[in-house]
Structure 1
Amino acid sequence: MMSENGELNPELHEQIKKFSSAGDMLAESGRYEAAVTEYNKAWEMIPSPKNDWEAATWILAAIADACFLSGFKTSAREALQYAMTCPGGLGNPFLHLRLGQVLFDEGQEDSAADELMRAYMGAGPEIFAIEDARYLIFLKTRADL
């Protein structure tokens, strides 16, 4: 499964990319549940322990985004929390943004503020540009931005 340099073997990587691309196309057309099905196929191909692989980080980000956008907040939170244990997960502004949004929607305001601030610090106000304004409005009640 693994090459000498700790990367997925090329055939496996191509299969994972194929399922991920199919998921991306479905997500772009608003078919989030179908997208998650494709992303899950890619996820299943990642060798264990899954959180050793960078591919796990971007697949979980895609799953979380599709779940968030389709209203499956618990599934989004679970994917995001696992993504934080994967390479490059902690500190990824997009992952912190989505996790903050989910936590805010669940009423966990202190944790939400922490995650949203991490997103803001990592990517600036631009990361909130296409999001519902209520998340940035909330963050401004917790921090001087």
Structure 2
Amino acid sequence: MEMPDEIYDQLNEHCERGEALLAKGDADAALEQYQAAEALIPSPKLSWEAALWVYAAIGDAWFAKQDFDRARQAFSNAVLCPDGLGNPFIHLRLGQCQFEENNLDKAADELTRAYMAEGLAIFEDENPKYLAFLRTRIDLT
């Protein structure tokens, strides 16, 4: 099933604007763009490949705002989209959200998935506390 070009183009424009806004530190404005993109996705939303990166973008904006519950919800949607399960970035952020919400067993599971898919590189630009935590749960050597 392929999304109509007009909808895909609009969705992509919203996401590009959101990405630029998030890069400038304006997570609130980025969220508005990402949520506008989400509204364009036909039902059932989770069946579209484009939904994966829209939900990941929404989750990343909530993560930037340190609203870990909403970020986790968005990334939980992303993991249900085509190619979502096994996506290292999604598992990384899910693990970070679980860690911040003190769900440490779930955090370890998700962070392990991210590590198994990408190795240590996935943690390079992240707060070192997540990798330090993972080292307490699995052997990384």
Q: Shorter chain as normaliser: what TM range?
A: over 0.9
User: Structure 1 regions of 5+ residues with no counterpart?
Assistant: 1-5
Using structure 1 for the length normalisation, give the TM-score.
Answer: 0.95
Out of 80, 83, 88, the residue aligned to residue 85 of structure 1 is: 80
Out of 5, 11, 35, the residue aligned to residue 10 of structure 1 is: 5
- Counterpart for residue 74 of structure 1: 69
- Counterpart for residue 110 of structure 1: 105
- Counterpart for residue 22 of structure 2: 27
User: Structure 2 regions of 5+ residues with no counterpart?
Assistant: none
Using structure 2 for the length normalisation, give the TM-score.
Answer: 0.98
For residues 102-129 of structure 1, give each alpha carbon's deviation from its aligned partner in whole angstroms, at most 9, with x where no partner exists. 0001110000000000000111101100
Runs (4+) of structure 1 moved beyond 6 Å?
none
- Counterpart for residue 36 of structure 2: 41
For residues 62-105 of structure 1, give each alpha carbon's deviation from its aligned partner in whole angstroms, at most 9, with x where no partner exists. 11011101111111011011111111111000000000000001
Q: Please tell me the residue identity of whatever aligns with 1:137.
A: A
Figure out how many residues of one structure are paired with residues of the other and give that number. 140
Identity %: 49
Distance in 2 between residues matched to 1:140 and 1:86, nearest whole Å: 29
CA deviation after TM superposition for structure 1 residue 33, in Å:
1.2
For residues 40-64 of structure 1, give each alpha carbon's deviation from its aligned partner in whole angstroms, at most 9, with x where no partner exists. 0000000000011011000000110
3-state SS in 2 of match to 1:124: helix
Alignment of 1:126-141 (within 5 A): 126-141=121-136
Distance in 2 between residues matched to 1:123 and 1:69, nearest whole Å: 22
Distance in 2 between residues matched to 1:125 and 1:93, nearest whole Å: 11
Distance in 1 between residues matched to 2:2 and 2:71, nearest whole Å: 26
